[in-house]
Structure 1
Amino acid sequence: MLSGLRWLALEAKYLDRAREFYATHLDLPVVREGGGEVVFDAGGTNLVVREPGAVPRGGVHTHYAFAAPPDRYATWYDRLAESFELTEFDFGGAKSLYFYDPDGNCVEIGSVGDGDDSITDIFEIVLEVEDLARAESLYRSLGFEVVDRGSERRRLRLGGPVDLELWEPQLGIADARGGLHVDVGFAADDPTAAVEAVREDVCAVEETDDGIRVRDPDGHYLTFE
């Protein structure tokens, strides 16, 4: 039903500061800017950083993860350690480093990328939810499969391109928190069918220039295009 991640949007208090962070420290090229937002290319997925304003605003204190090729991971670690206090975690075959952007988003770089670019994609987004069972049901209706469970969290996978972590309010590795009012866009084979799969479970449905957007019960915005 959904075939991949199109974008992740974050809210930035000061747009120039956020632009400098992502362009300088992570070498993300700017795709476009204007109208209170800057759009970066993160390996084919757009990372959107926008000023507070109209709904949807973009997520706050969102934990998300970039994929980097395994042979680039050590270079990223050494480079970022010069400017940031890093936390590292070994998942048993893959390592990740964690640090924070100027707006309190926990940025992860994991050694799981496939390709030649230093950043190959966004492979994980963490959403804060009030009711795990309710959120799990909604996202499973969109084609996500549960690949890991905890007492206060679920990890769901969309056929490999991206994982969603659904967290009840908590602190994770590096004291990361799940995002609030996160705005994400997904490629959909049939956007209308995706909406119909969750119509009874979402709070709002709206057609946009990009596709069809819904708001889930936890205030996250999902656009299907």
Structure 2
Amino acid sequence: MVNSLQWLALETKYLDRAEAFYEAFLDLETHSRRGGEVILTVGETDLVLREPGRLPRGGVHTHYALSIPAGEYDAWYEQLKQRFELVEHSFGDSQSLYFYDPDGNCVELGQADVDGPGVDGVFEVVMEVEQLGRAVDLYERLGFEVVDRGDDRRRVRMNADSFAIELWEPQLGIADARGGVHVDMGVTVEEPAKIVDKVRTDVLTIDEQEDGIRIRDVDGHYVTLVDTS
């Protein structure tokens, strides 16, 4: 089983503009910078803002969701509606609001059982795939579990311990969001080498990295398996 999301990388045209956006409107803090990257803290996850020009690239037009305490929802709405055209949606008893960052990523703020204050983790990442069945089979072998299939849209939701991914065939979702292209993320697992053996013949590349084993799937997404054992 996949445990946690270590990082999510987004491609940005202008690092300073993207950093200023996330600091000003989502109160995120920058904890480090390295060549062509700015890394912000989102709970236990790093949000990596990455300039074009290196591999893996950050995701483009990625839709992803950030957790906020349920009681802060109205305050966030009032704060953000002054600058953004917000879209709201209800999921049972929980509400989410949607808006866009300067690079066209759809940011969702969703009510969650988190301590806060403020943004306290990433609970969903959406990736665009060409063939849904093929992608679901791969991510099941990586350790994700199918929990929901779309009735009206070609999508599958898959859970890890502390976050979820959604696999979408090309489409527009809520707030006209799209699944991310060439998403780069790191996830924690036990015994990455054993997991990689399960998918070895069905991925484009496998690379040993300092922080884990990185695979590239057939849709161009990068997933680094970080060892927790």
SS at 1:78 equivalent? helix
CA distance in 1: counterparts of 2:34 and 2:27, whole angstroms: 19
Matched, 1:15 2:21: no
Matched, 1:152 2:158: no
Report the alpha carbon displacement of residue 86 of structure 1 after superposing the two structures with TM. 0.3
Report the alpha carbon displacement of residue 2 of structure 1 after superposing the two structures with TM. 2.1
CA distance in 2: counterparts of 1:117 and 1:41, whole angstroms: 13
Report the alpha carbon displacement of residue 189 of structure 1 after superposing the two structures with TM. 1.4
Query: Partner letter of residue 125 of structure 1?
Result: V
Aligned to 2:118: 118
CA distance in 2: counterparts of 1:40 and 1:204, whole angstroms: 28
Aligned to 2:92: 92
- 73-82 or 170-179, which moves further after superposition? 73-82
Unaligned runs of 5+ in 1: none
SS at 2:39 equivalent? strand
CA distance in 2: counterparts of 1:36 and 1:194, whole angstroms: 31
Would you say the 8 A contact 1:113–1:119 is kept in 2? no
Q: Deviations over 1:10-65 (max 9, x none)?
A: 00011110000001110101110120110000011000001001110100000000
Aligned to 1:104: 104
CA distance in 2: counterparts of 1:61 and 1:126, whole angstroms: 10
Would you say the 8 A contact 1:98–1:109 is kept in 2? yes
Query: Partner letter of residue 114 of structure 2?
Result: D
Would you say the 8 A contact 1:185–1:224 is kept in 2? yes
Query: Partner letter of residue 46 of structure 1?
Result: D
Report the alpha carbon displacement of residue 183 of structure 1 after superposing the two structures with TM. 0.1
Structure 1 stretches (4+) deviating beyond 6 angstroms? none
Would you say the 8 A contact 1:66–1:109 is kept in 2? yes
Aligned to 2:81: 81
Would you say the 8 A contact 1:73–1:111 is kept in 2? yes
Aligned to 1:180: 181
- 213-222 or 115-124, which moves further after superposition? 115-124
Report the alpha carbon displacement of residue 194 of structure 1 after superposing the two structures with TM. 2.0
Would you say the 8 A contact 1:126–1:166 is kept in 2? yes
SS at 2:21 equivalent? helix
Where do residues 210-221 of structure 1 align in structure 2 (5 Å cutoff)? 210-221=211-222
CA distance in 1: counterparts of 2:206 and 2:34, whole angstroms: 26
Aligned to 2:165: 164
Aligned to 2:202: 201
Aligned to 2:224: 223
CA distance in 2: counterparts of 1:142 and 1:212, whole angstroms: 12
SS at 1:103 equivalent? coil
Would you say the 8 A contact 2:68–2:116 is kept in 1? no
SS at 2:99 equivalent? strand
- Kindly, what percent of the aligned residue pairs are identical? 55
Matched, 1:128 2:89: no
SS at 2:77 equivalent? helix
Give the root-mean-square deviation of aligned CA atoms: 1.0
Unaligned runs of 5+ in 2: none
